Chains A and B, each alone.
Chain A
Amino acid sequence: MCQLKILIMLAWRNLWRNHHRTIIMISAVTVGVWAMIFMTALMRGMVTDMVRDGIQTLPGHVQIHHPKFRDDPSVNNLMLTTATELNNKFGGIGFEAWASRIRVPAVIASERESRGVTLFGIDPAAEEPISLLADDIVEGRFLRDETDSGVVIGLKLADKLDTKLGKRIVLMSQDPSNKIADRGFRVVGIFDLDLDSHEESSVFAGRATIQKMLGIEDRVTEVVFLDGDYRNVDSLYKKISELAGPDVDVQPWYKLDKYLGMMLNMMDGFVLVWVIVIFLTLSFGLVNTLVMAVFERIREIGLMLALGMRPSNILGQIIVESLLLLVIGLTLGNAFAWMTVESLKGGIDISAVAEGMAMMGASSILHPDLQIGDVITANIVVLALGFLASLSPAWRASRYQPIEAITKV
């Protein structure tokens, strides 16, 4: 304890012997840590926006389908249980939100154009807390209820079909006996999403209306659940798997939308690589500072060894010196990063590059997302790599022969 105290005292005082050098190094660590954390928060914010918007556009957290539906997403693979039976099964569980839907491939035709789309038959009331569709309506209205006879289409699809609000379109799909099922609808609402692909290919209509059109009575193709944090859906997935039984296919969102799932995993890996790359750059400065500090103090180190200080204590002293430097830099870097993120809480307008961002499903306002896990990762990486970087000069200092060091000119 006594020895640790003197090591810390010596390290601290030695740190301020050449205060210019120390301040420059602390500034470099501070800026590096700030960059690590703030840039990570920005990228995390972008990915969080993309994933959250992606999840809240349709997938929810967990979905149930007929076991063959994912391979052949058609009306032939309806769930065996009816919407009413599903309501009895899941209605009283207390999920944050859940809804049953029909999702089938269809063709939409205006008087000028036709396109292949995915037709969703939804219950707007149940769907509201799961997806942001109602909030994204830019013209007209969202569906009123599951018996609504109108359709809601995306802005881009409307453009491609050369149609607009109030116009009639025809939707065609197959019924369970593989016969054409079609029906005319009026466009009652147009939505605008960040994710262009959804805007071009998704069409929403009332669930009961679509059930009637397809002749499938009260049957649905999927049930979607939302509960808790989208990052931790494993317990929800387990719970639903147990409730749903063995005859259905239960999948979490990151398996249903592999692009989004991959984005999240990639981001975790990217954060680590980013933090390591920045610190590796900083570590050259750190090693240089320590080498110079050791070089300037060779005679002192020799004296301390001559007086009976163990080589391991010399090693410890240099490492403590490095860690003190890093801890000061980390504290300031963390504080500045936090302050920067707080001051940009309202979001950063990146509309200048909004077109490119929209292609990836991100919005034009970037909200930095400071996550404690990222801050901890950055701090651990800085301390661990800083410790490793200081080992070499510290080891060299501890290997000096006392008498050679004392007489060094």
Chain B
Amino acid sequence: MTAIRCIDLCKTYYQGGQEIKALDHVNLEIAGGDFVCLSAPSGGGKTTLLNAIGGLDRPDSGEIWISEQRIDKLSKSELAQLRLHQIGFVFQAFNLIPVLTARENVEFVMQLQGVPTNKRTKKSKLILEEVGLHGMEDRRPADMSGGQQQRVAIARAIVSRPTLVLADEPTANLDSHNADDLMKLFVELNQRHNTTFVIATHDQRVMTYAIRLIRMLDGRIVDDIQQHTT
């Protein structure tokens, strides 16, 4: 089953009077349960593509389909609903709400979804254990390391079993040890829950974990390789 389909996506930015083609006629299809890395140098278009797939940014032209639903024409509110119920996000930084504890951050999305309190508590406890944060449920982001914060963000991204997890440079602020741990966790979650993962990165170590590696340059896909996981 196709999880993501992008047809002829174009997106142009203007910076200092200069035209920058962030997406230049991108065509892409990602199957459900796939583990994909989007790799590109800075300004190559990987984050723009990721944001467009996640409904955070609109393409100038082209179509985006998520699980057989066309999303590029949806309203702001419909996109919010789509993100809430079908997509989990992990960003490079500022992933967590500082005034909420780890458990509350994980429960945040479920709370918006209207999941009852007892179910929420049970699920958040389990998922925090799964990402190795047992005993840290009541800590606030300021009291956690960068790696621990990213784990909370991952727990939040997958707790409500979205069909798709989008991660933008998730290891950028982590040391190599924490980055490896995080990628192993992604792979494990991908295999266990069959969740589709799309990770934008320019970190070579992260790319080695991908089943499929898509390379971009100047807004175009220049390489699309199926590779084995490590």
A residues in contact (CB < 8 Å) with B: 2-3, 5-6, 9-10, 13-14, 17, 299-300, 303-313, 401-403, 406
- CB of B195, distance to nearest CB on chain A (Å): 16
Task: Evaluate contact between B56 and A2: CB separation under 8 angstroms.
Answer: no
B77 touches A307 (CB 8 A): no
Question: In the complex, are the beta carbons of B57 and A13 less than 8 A apart?
Answer: no
- 5 A-B residue pairings within 8 Å (CB atoms): A2-B114, A299-B94, A303-B96, A307-B112, A308-B80
Number of A-B residue pairs, CB cutoff 8 Å, is 72
Q: A2-B111, A403-B51 are in contact. List 15 more A-B contacts (CB 8 A).
A: A2-B114, A3-B111, A3-B112, A5-B111, A10-B100, A13-B100, A299-B94, A303-B91, A303-B96, A304-B108, A306-B89, A307-B89, A313-B112, A401-B57, A403-B57
Residue numbers in A under 8 Å from B222 (CB-CB): none
Q: Mark B153-170, 1 if CB is under 8 A from A, else 0.
A: 000100000000000000
**In the complex, A14→B109 CA distance in Å?**
18
Residue B95 is within 8 A (CB to CB) of chain A in the complex? yes
A2 proximity list for chain B (CB < 8 A): 111-112, 114-115
- Mark B93-119 against chain A: 1 for CB-CB distance below 8 A, else 0: 011111110001000110111110000
Residues of A within 8 A of B77 (CB): 310-312
**A305 neighbours in B (Cβ, 8 Å):** 80
Taking a contact as CB atoms under 8 Å apart, the answer to whether A402 and B97 are in contact is no
B185 located at the interface, meaning its Cβ lies under 8 Å from any Cβ of chain A in the complex: no
Residues of chain A within 8 A of B51, CB atoms compared: 403
Q: Is there contact, CB below 8 Å, between A13 and B99?
A: yes
In the complex with contacts A305-B80, A308-B85, A311-B80, A403-B56 CB distance below 8 A: yes
List 3 tightest A-B contacts by C-beta distance, closest first: A308-B84, A13-B99, A308-B83
Question: CA of A311 to CA of B79 in the docked complex: distance in angstroms?
Answer: 11
B80:A14 contact, CB within 8 angstroms: no
The answer for the CA separation of A303 and B85 in the assembled complex, in Å, is 15
| Cα A299 to Cα B92 with chains together (Å) | 12
**Partner pick for B94 among A13, A303, A312, CB 8 A cutoff:** A303
Which of B99, B111, B113 neighbours the largest number of chain A CB atoms within 10 Å of its CB? B99
Does A300 contact B89, Cβ atoms closer than 8 Å? Answer: no
CB distance from B98 to the nearest CB of A (A): 7
Residues of A within 8 A of B100 (CB): 10, 13
Looking at A299, A308, A313, the one whose CB has the most chain B CB atoms below 10 A away is: A308
Residue of A nearest to B166 (CB): A306
B44 contacts partner chain A, Cβ-Cβ < 8 Å = no
Report the nearest B residue to A305, measured CB to CB: B80
Give the complex CA separation of A285 and B77 in angstroms.
32
Residues of B within 8 A of A10 (CB): 97, 99-100
B59 at the interface (CB under 8 A from A): no
B-chain residues with CB within 8 Å of residue A310 when the two chains form the complex? 77, 80-81
When C-beta atoms are compared, the residue in chain B nearest to A310 turns out to be B80
Closest Cβ of chain B to A171, distance in Å, is: 82
In whole angstroms, how far apart are the Cα atoms of A9 and B156 in the complex? 18
Contact A304 B89 (CB under 8 A): no
Question: DSSP class of A's interface residues: helix, strand, loop or mixed?
Answer: helix
**B56 and A402 contacting across the interface, CB-CB below 8 Å:** yes
Q: How far is the CA of A305 from the CA of B85 in the complex (A)?
A: 13
Q: Which residues of A contact B76 (CB under 8 A)?
A: 311
Verify B112–A6 contact, CB threshold 8 A.
Answer: yes
Q: Does B219 contact A (CB under 8 A)?
A: no
Distance between B48 CB and nearest chain A CB, rounded to angstroms: 9
- A276: min CB distance to chain B, Å: 34
- Could you say which residues of chain A place their CB within 8 Å of the CB of B113? 308
Given A309-B80, A403-B56, A403-B57, the answer on whether A6 and B99 have CB atoms closer than 8 Å is no
Whether the pair A3, B114 counts as a contact (CB closer than 8 A) is: yes
- Asked whether any CB of chain A lies closer than 8 Å to the CB of B54, the reply is yes
Bound CA span A112–B54, Å:
102
Contact A309–B57 (Cβ < 8 Å): no
| Contact B83–A307 (Cβ < 8 Å) | yes
Inter-chain CA distance A406–B168, complex, in Å, is: 12
B95 x A303 contact (CB < 8 A): yes
**Complex: A403 Cα to B54 Cα, angstroms:** 10
For B83, give its contact among A299, A306, A312 (CB under 8 Å): A306
Which residues of chain B are near A306, meaning CB under 8 Å? 54, 56, 83, 89, 91
**Residues of chain A lying within 8 A (CB to CB) of residue B111:** 2-3, 5-6
| Residue pair B109, A307 in contact (C-beta under 8 Å) | yes
A308 near B112 with CB under 8 A, answer yes
* Chain A residue with Cβ nearest B104: A9
Among residues of B, the one whose C-beta sits closest to the C-beta of A300 is B97
Which one of B80, B82, B109 has the highest number of Cβ atoms from chain A below 10 Å of its Cβ?
Answer: B80
Task: Scan B51-73; emit 1 where CB is below 8 A from any A CB, else 0.
Answer: 10010110000000000000000
Shortest Cβ gap from A218 to chain B (Å): 82
B139 vs chain A, min Cβ distance (A): 15
- The answer to whether B94 and A300 touch across the interface, beta carbons within 8 angstroms, is yes
Q: In the complex, A5 Cα to B108 Cα: how many Å?
A: 11
Name which residue of chain A comes closest to B48, CB basis.
A403
Q: Determine if B109 and A406 form an interchain contact, defined as CB atoms under 8 angstroms apart.
A: no
Centre residue among A3, A17, A401, A403 by max chain B CB count within 10 A: A403
A361 to chain B, nearest CB (A): 57
Closest to A313 in B: B112
